[in-house]
């Protein structure tokens, strides 16, 4: 079987940071406005008073300290509470494609490849800017890549699921060099007015180049020893926005048209699922979890990651074994484990083993076991 490698990664980081203090100040200003608007109903006994958020809760419950966003002013405006994006003409490059092109160019440069050498583009993300034409086709054209492109969405597992498709395409010969790109504009699907989740997400884009070992010229190739994907249906993370909404005569601003979750249930159910998945995958490849030098895990919750790795290796672990990037980036959907891999692999030595693993809505879990060459 052909040896497959990840030969480069790239990261686009939006220009604006929102700290927890800024986020909570704007959320609490929104709460004051709502409560003032509803003062007479609240005084009459209706249970509709909104409760403020707190920085302490956010940091303790999630580990998130800040997030990057494409538009800060709209999110922090207590009379708006969502980013403001200016519509672009069909003849212009779309915003999602723009950040994808940036991350892709960096990944190509890291892999030592030109766009013309790419013959497959997978745009894999939790949300697509439009239904069609596929984002991947626009990104392919903007880069000057050849072959084919398609979009795919498995929510927070989109990147790892796409890496498996890319590896299989190269292995089978249907492509020689595949770009997997994950433009995650999560600020547009987050309900910034909901205290339970307003702190969760951040925007970013990651990109990964997948090719055969014998075509790779990169100074930093990572052999893909195996990929494994699993899904198990759950309603605990859900977003009902879709093309049939207008035919259902539903309110486009209704709560169920943005990200919703039962966070505590997700925590409880996904931790054992992800740990068992990683352990089973490693076992079938002939490895024990204790042989893994680094876990680049999905970044949704600090406690979740600590628990998963503790289950795997049987002891408390620090950042060195399972680096945390969510304190800086928050949850970036499918890009989280790739950001961790992008930033925290330079110190590993040839022969070192690592696991990239995503978990999220679906539920879905995807693992990619890699070894530094
Ligand atoms: N500020 C202050 N207090 C808050 C708050 C906020 N923003 N949001 C909730 N609280 C309160 C709740 O009202 C509740 O109070 P109570 O105990 O008096 O009822 C308490 O804090 C606990 O709320 P809960 O929602 O149970 O918090 P949690 O400890 O489960 O943490 C998450 C919430 C979302 C951080 C956590 O469940 C999580 O990260 N889960 C995993 C999610 C995940 O992986 N999702 C994948 C998405 S891709």
- State pLDDT tens for residues 332-353: 999 999 999 999 999 999 999 9
Q: DSSP string spanning 178-237?
A: EEEEEEE-GGGTS-TT-TTTTTSB--EEEEEEEEEGGG---SS-EEEEEEEEEE---SSE
For residues 75 and 78, what is the distance between their CA atoms, to the nearest angstrom?
8
Q: How far is the CA of 303 from the centre of ligand 1 (A)?
A: 12
pLDDT at position 1 over 90: no
- Closest-CA residue, ligand 1 atom 39, reads 301
The arithmetic mean of pLDDT across residues 182-194, rounded, is 98
Residue 53, domain member (yes or no): no
On whether the CB atoms of residues 140 and 149 are closer than 8 A, the answer is: yes
Average pLDDT, the chain: 97
261 phi-psi bin (left φ>0, alpha ψ -120 to 50, beta other): beta
Residue 109, domain member (yes or no): no
- Closest-CA residue, ligand 1 atom 31, reads 61
pLDDT at position 181 over 90: yes
Query: Which of 263, 271, 324, 327 most suits a substitution to test ligand 1, by most atoms within 8 Å of the C-beta?
Result: 263
pLDDT for the residue numbered 81: 98
pLDDT at position 317 over 90: no
The arithmetic mean of pLDDT across residues 54-73, rounded, is 98
Q: Can you say whether the dihedral through the CA atoms of 61, 62, 68, 69 is positive or negative?
A: negative
What is the domain extent for residue 324? Answer: 222-372
Residue 331, domain member (yes or no): yes
Residue 174, domain member (yes or no): no
pLDDT tens, residue by residue, 244-297? 999 999 999 999 999 999 999 999 999 999 999 999 999 999 999 999 999 999
Instruction: Give me the helix-helix angle, 158-172 and 336-343, nearest 10°.
Output: 70
The arithmetic mean of pLDDT across residues 8-36, rounded, is 98
Ligand 1 contact, 331 CB (< 6 A): yes
- 3-state class (DSSP) for residue 89: coil
Q: How far is the CA of 58 from the centre of ligand 1 (A)?
A: 8
What would the two tokens of residue 177 be? 């060099």
Residue 13, domain member (yes or no): no
pLDDT for the residue numbered 315: 87
Q: How far is the CA of 237 from the centre of ligand 1 (A)?
A: 14
- Quote the pTM value: 0.97
Residue 334, domain member (yes or no): yes
CATH number of the domain residue 302 falls in = 3.40.47.10
Ligand 1 contact, 195 CB (< 6 A): yes
For Cα atoms 329, 335, 340, give the angle at the middle one, nearest 5 degrees: 65
Ligand 1 contact, 360 CB (< 6 A): yes
Alpha helices, H only, 38-150: 39-43, 55-62, 73-76, 95-111, 135-143
Domains in the chain, number: 1
Residue 185, domain member (yes or no): no
Catalytic residue among 123, 156, 177, 205: 156
Q: Is 197 a catalytic residue?
A: no
Helix (H) or strand (E) holding 295: strand 294-297
| Start-to-end Cα distance in the chain | 17
Ligand 1 contact, 70 CB (< 6 A): no
pLDDT band at 94 (very low <50, low <70, confident <90, very high): very high
For residues 224 and 316, what is the distance between their CA atoms, to the nearest angstrom?
27
Select from 113, 322, 326, 348 the least CA-distant residue to 208.
Answer: 113
Ligand 1 contact, 54 CB (< 6 A): yes
pLDDT band at 230 (very low <50, low <70, confident <90, very high): very high
Question: Atom of ligand 1 at shortest distance to CA of 53?
Answer: 1
For residues 112 and 105, what is the distance between their CA atoms, to the nearest angstrom?
10
CA max distance for the chain? 73
pLDDT for the residue numbered 303: 96
For residues 106 and 29, what is the distance between their CA atoms, to the nearest angstrom?
39
pLDDT for the residue numbered 316: 85
Residue 138, domain member (yes or no): no
pLDDT at position 318 over 90: no
């Amino acid at each position: 079987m052909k040896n497959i490698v990840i030969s480069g990664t790239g990261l686009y980081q939006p220009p604006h940071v929102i700290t927890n203090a800024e986020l909570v100040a704007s959320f609490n200003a929104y709460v004051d406005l709502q409560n003032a608007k509803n003062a007479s109903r609240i005084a009459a006994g209706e249970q509709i008073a909104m409760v403020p958020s707190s920085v302490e809760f956010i940091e303790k419950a999630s580990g998130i300290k800040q997030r990057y966003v494409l538009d800060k002013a709209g999110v922090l405006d207590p009379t708006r509470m969502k980013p403001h994006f200016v519509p672009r003409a069909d003849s212009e490059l779309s915003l999602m494609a723009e950040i994808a092109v940036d991350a892709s160019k960096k990944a190509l440069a890291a892999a030592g490849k030109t766009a013309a050498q790419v013959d497959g583009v997978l745009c894999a993300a939790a949300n697509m800017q439009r239904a069609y034409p596929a984002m991947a086709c626009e990104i392919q054209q903007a880069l000057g890549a050849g072959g084919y492109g398609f979009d795919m969405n498995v929510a927070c597992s989109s990147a790892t699921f796409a890496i498996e498709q890319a590896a299989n395409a190269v292995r089978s010969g249907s492509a020689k060099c595949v770009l997997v790109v994950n433009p995650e504009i999560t600020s547009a699907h987050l309900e910034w007015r909901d205290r339970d989740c307003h702190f969760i997400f951040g925007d970013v884009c990651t990109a990964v180049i997948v090719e055969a070992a014998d075509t790779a010229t990169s100074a930093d190739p990572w052999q893909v020893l195996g990929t494994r994907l699993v899904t198990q249906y759950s309603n605990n993370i859900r977003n009902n926005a879709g093309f049939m909404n207008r035919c259902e005569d539903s309110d486009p601003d209704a709560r169920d048209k943005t990200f919703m979750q039962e966070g505590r249930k997700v925590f409880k159910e996904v931790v054992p699922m992800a740990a068992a998945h990683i352990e089973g995958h490693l076992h079938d490849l002939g490895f024990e979890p204790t042989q893994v030098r680094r876990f680049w895990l999905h970044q949704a919750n600090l406690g979740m990651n600590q628990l998963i790795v503790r289950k795997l290796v049987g002891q408390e672990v620090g950042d060195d074994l399972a680096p945390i990037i969510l304190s800086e980036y928050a949850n970036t959907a499918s890009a989280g484990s790739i950001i961790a891999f992008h930033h925290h692999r330079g110190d590993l030595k040839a022969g070192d083993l690592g696991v990239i693993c995503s978990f999220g809505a679906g539920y879905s879990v995807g693992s990619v076991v890699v070894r530094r060459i």
